[in-house]
Amino acid sequence: MDLSDKSTKVRKGEELDLERMEEFLRDNIPGLNGPISVEQFPSGYSNLTYLIKMGERELVLRRPPFGRKAKTAHDMGREFRILSALKGVFRYCPEPLIYTEEESVAGCPFYVMDRIKGIILRRDIPEGMELSPESMTALCEDLVDVHYELHSVDYESIGLGNLGKPEGYIRRQVEGWSERYRAARTGDAPSFERIMHWLSVEMPGESPRSAIVHNDYKFDNVVLDPLNNLKIKGVLDWEMATIGDPLMDLGSSLAYWVQADDSPALQAIRTLPTNLPGALTRSRIVAGYAEKAGIQTGDFRFYYCFGLFRLAVIAQQIYYRFYHGQTKDPRFKTLIGAVNALENTAVQLLRGAAM
């Protein structure tokens, strides 16, 4: 049974010009043959991702979304540069092939990479896939291992030293995401002022470690090996990667981690199968990462709370586009519910709730 991630028909209004695209690809990627066909991967709320088939070759194209975009987001050239630098030292990266800023092809900058074919876990595991509690534990442990492996890459040696500024990283993140939330807030969204104030007061000092941080590391951004679905073979969606504090990266990942004993409000917005029997708890993930890294994390609430807030900002930015009629994707309508659930969870954390 083929459990690999499936593409579907391209959404209306997000079509590619096949004639121009085929000509561009043939001119820039050697060895392509056969007619072009294009489908779209339907998941994801940010950059648009297409599957392009030409003969036996399967390529993936990434381009920015339509409508209002955050000023510093959706930098296709930056994402392509990160993949190009990492590919030789981090075996989970897809192979980047070509990037262009020539807007005559698709109306925007975009890049193309080889497809990593495999299984991607979303809200529920694919039909036909079985994960025992022991297998789920092993898969979660591999997720943590690969995350730590990324954080262990010597980014200076591969030319990514100027990708970001580790000094002042935490403060910039708190202040920057606060500004983004205020700019994207709609009339039906919570204020988050209490959370933003707490984060600004409670932020820890400078981290002694800096690393490449993925900033969106979670199950539906990793590809499982179809021959061994307990092993990760690829990591996708590098648009938000930078140099920063690895604990902030871990906290951002945990914001997506809805475990079995979480509130009904969090269960309602769960997007990953992290509630399955055998799945690690957030506390066990932090402890496992700390053991591998040989560090003490202390009270992790700040990092988890920041992750919840940051995820709410991302959801609110996307919802803003729907609210103002800049996209008609029906999935975006429900994101205001996620923003409210994340705000409530963060408030409970401030009141002393366990992580």
10 domain-assigned: no
174 domain-assigned: yes
* Dihedral sign computed on CA atoms, order 83, 223, 123, 343: negative
12 domain-assigned: no
Instruction: Tell me: do 177 and 84 sit in the same domain.
Output: no
Least confident of 10-14, 112-116, 157-161, 171-175: 10-14
Which residue among 81, 114, 147 closes a domain?
Answer: 114
Confidence (pLDDT) at 68: 46
How far from the centroid of its chain's Cα atoms is residue 275's Cα?
A: 19
Predicted TM-score of the model (pTM): 0.92
- The answer to whether residue 42 scores a pLDDT higher than 90 is no
128 domain-assigned: no
CATH number at residue 92: 3.30.200.20
Instruction: Tell me: do 82 and 144 sit in the same domain.
Output: no
Answer whether 180's CB lies under 8 Å from 317's CB.
Answer: yes
Instruction: Tell me: do 294 and 216 sit in the same domain.
Output: yes
Mean residue pLDDT across the chain:
93
Tell me which residue range forms the domain holding 103: 18-114
Least confident of 42-46, 192-196, 248-252, 311-315: 42-46
Instruction: Tell me: do 59 and 99 sit in the same domain.
Output: yes
Q: Which residues contact 34 (CB under 8 A, 6 or more apart)?
A: 53, 54, 55, 56, 57
Instruction: Tell me: do 82 and 220 sit in the same domain.
Output: no
Instruction: Tell me: do 151 and 108 sit in the same domain.
Output: no
Amino acid letter, 227: L
Confidence (pLDDT) at 207: 85
Instruction: Tell me: do 110 and 146 sit in the same domain.
Output: no
SS3 assignment, position 84 = helix
Which residue among 82, 114, 146 closes a domain?
Answer: 114
Q: What mean pLDDT do residues 54-70 have?
A: 82
- The answer to whether residue 70 scores a pLDDT higher than 60 is no
CATH number at residue 303: 3.90.1200.10
- The confidence band for 352, taking pLDDT boundaries of 50, 70 and 90, is confident
Instruction: Tell me: do 94 and 208 sit in the same domain.
Output: no
Q: What is the pLDDT of residues 223-234, one digit of tens each?
A: 999 999 999 999
1 domain-assigned: no
Instruction: Tell me: do 198 and 101 sit in the same domain.
Output: no
259 domain-assigned: yes
Answer whether 254's CB lies under 8 Å from 288's CB.
Answer: no
Instruction: Tell me: do 31 and 144 sit in the same domain.
Output: no
83 domain-assigned: yes
- The confidence band for 67, taking pLDDT boundaries of 50, 70 and 90, is low
124 domain-assigned: no
Give me the number of domains the chain comprises: 2
Instruction: Tell me: do 195 and 270 sit in the same domain.
Output: yes
Q: What is the pLDDT of residues 138-167, one digit of tens each?
A: 999 999 999 999 999 999 999 999 999 999
- The answer to whether residue 244 scores a pLDDT higher than 50 is yes
- The confidence band for 199, taking pLDDT boundaries of 50, 70 and 90, is very high
Q: What mean pLDDT do residues 74-83 have?
A: 92
Which residue among 87, 114, 141 closes a domain?
Answer: 114
**CA distances (Å), origin 334, targets 6, 13, 22, 158:** 23, 21, 36, 41
- The confidence band for 116, taking pLDDT boundaries of 50, 70 and 90, is very high
Q: What mean pLDDT do residues 332-355 have?
A: 94
Instruction: Tell me: do 95 and 205 sit in the same domain.
Output: no
Q: Which residue has the higher pLDDT, 223 or 66?
A: 223
